Amino acid sequence: MTDGGVEQGGAVEQVGVGEQGGAGDEFDVVVVGAGPAGSAAALAARRAGARVLLLDRADFPRDKACGDGIAAHALDVLDELGVPDAVAGYPPLPALRMVSPGGDEVARTLPRPAYTVPRTVFDARLVAAAVAAGAQLRRHAVRRVEVRADRVVLDGAVTAAAVVGADGAGSVVRRALGHPVNPDRHLALALRGYAPARPGPPEQLIVTSAPRWPAYAWSFPIGDGRANVGYGEVLRGEPLTRAHLVDRLAALLPGTDPATVTDLRAHHLPLSTHRPAPGRGRVALAGDALSLINPFTGEGIFYALLSGALAGAAAARSPEHAGRRYTDALRRRLGVHLRHSSTAAWLARRRLVVDAAVRAARRDDRVYRTVVELGLGDGRLDARTLGMIGFGLATRDRPPRR
C-alpha cells in the first residue's frame, strides 16, 4: 500500500512527525505510545470525533523486539478500525506446529491463517493510518503525568481531557497511577532475531522447553527467505544472560546457527496473570502497559489492538469517566477469556499437562482449535478439551492395549 506513507513491500516513509508543541496544547485525547495499542486507540478516538495527539519517543519506522506474529483476531480489530491492509504483501501462514516439553508434537492447519510482519513495517503502517485519520503525531518522551480533576497534564505542556497509556512494559502512565511493574513469575524475558527460514512448507513453529519450563522457542517465516526466531522464559528471581538466551534458542531450534541470527534484541513480556486496574478517572492503560500478554503463548498484538481500540473509544466518548467505561468494556469483551487463559497458564505449570494437551490436539482437531484460540485469540477452555487432557494424563503411563 502507498497511502499514508507506506509503500508496498515494507519500505516506509516518515509520516506526520513534528516537534514538541509549546505550552497551551490542548486535546480531547492524548495517547502515549504509538505501537499497535496506541495507534488503535488513536484510530478509535478519531472515529468518535476527538482531537487526538499521539506521542512516541521514537521516529517511525522503528524496530520493536517481538515475534512479529499477526493472528487473525488482530486483523478483525483492524478491519473494524478501517485498516484492512496492514499485512499486505506478506504471505499467509496456514499452519502451526507445536512441540511439547516431552517431545510430542502436533501440526495442523490453523482455523484462519496467521502472518509474520516485521514491526518496522507493521507499526509504521498503523501509525500512518492514525495520521491519515486525523491524529497528530509527535516525537516526545513523556516523563511526568499529572492527573487533575478536570484534565491530565503531560510534562507541564500538553493538556488532555483523557489519556491512554500505551507506552509498553515500562509505562510512565502506569507508574503515574501507582502501579509497579510486574513481579517475577508474572514477567518473561525473550530474545528475538532474524535468521534464514527453515526449509519446507511455511508454518509457524513453537518448541516448548523441558529445562527451565515455562519457556519456549519460536520460528515464524516472513516470506522473504527469513524467519523471526527467538526464545523466552518466565523470570524466577535470577538474572538471565544474553548468552543463556542464545544457547537455549540454538538448543530448541537445532537448524538455527546463532552465527546467522541478526538483529538480536531482548524484551520483557508483562503477563496478563498480574494486571493492574485498567484505568482510573481520565486515564486508561492498554496493551503491554496493562500487562496484556497471553501467559500461555506470549502473544500480545491482538490484545494490544483490542484494548487500545476500547480505551480510545472510552476516552473520546466519556473523558471524565474514561477509566471506568474502559474497564467495563474490557471486562465484557475479554474478561472470561482472560480468566480462562490464566487458568490454562496455571495448569500448564506442569510440563506433563502441556505434553497431554499437545497429544490431545494431535488426536482431535477441535481440541487443537481450542488451544489455538486460547493462545492466539479470545478463546476459552471447554469440557471436551479438559477431558481429553485429563484422559491423556491418566493414561500416559499405561502400557498399550493389545
DSSP secondary structure, 317-338, as one string: H-GGGHHHHHHHHHHHHHHHHH
Rounded Cα gap, residues 32 and 21, in angstroms: 15
Nearest to 365 by CA among 112, 110, 115: 110
Residues in CB range of 6: below 8 A, 6 or more apart:
12, 13, 15, 121, 124, 125, 128
DSSP 260: G
Strand, helix or coil for residue 27: strand
Give me the helix-helix angle, 72-80 and 301-317, nearest 10°: 20
Q: Is the CATH number 3.20.20.80 carried by domain 3-90+117-182+275-339?
A: no
* Residue intervals in the chain for CATH 3.50.50.60: 3-90+117-182+275-339
Question: Which triple of cell numbers denotes residue 329?
Answer: 468494556
Classify domain 93-115+183-270 at the CATH superfamily level: D-Amino Acid Oxidase, subunit A, domain 2 (3.30.9.10)
What are the residue ranges of CATH 3.30.9.10 in the chain?
93-115+183-270
Residue 181 CB contacts under 8 Å (≥ 6 apart), including other chains: 169, 170, 174, 187, 270
Joined grid coordinates for residue 198:
527453515
pLDDT in tens, the chain (402 residues): 323 333 333 333 333 333 444 445 899 999 999 999 999 999 999 999 999 999 999 999 999 999 999 999 999 999 999 999 999 999 999 999 999 999 999 999 999 999 999 999 999 999 999 999 999 999 999 999 999 999 999 999 999 999 999 999 999 999 999 999 999 999 999 999 999 999 999 999 999 999 999 999 999 999 999 999 999 999 999 999 999 999 999 999 999 999 999 999 999 999 999 999 999 999 999 999 999 999 989 999 999 999 999 999 999 999 999 999 999 999 999 999 999 999 999 999 999 999 999 999 999 999 999 999 999 999 999 999 999 999 999 987 543 332
Q: Distance from first CA to last CA of the chain, Å, rounded?
A: 60
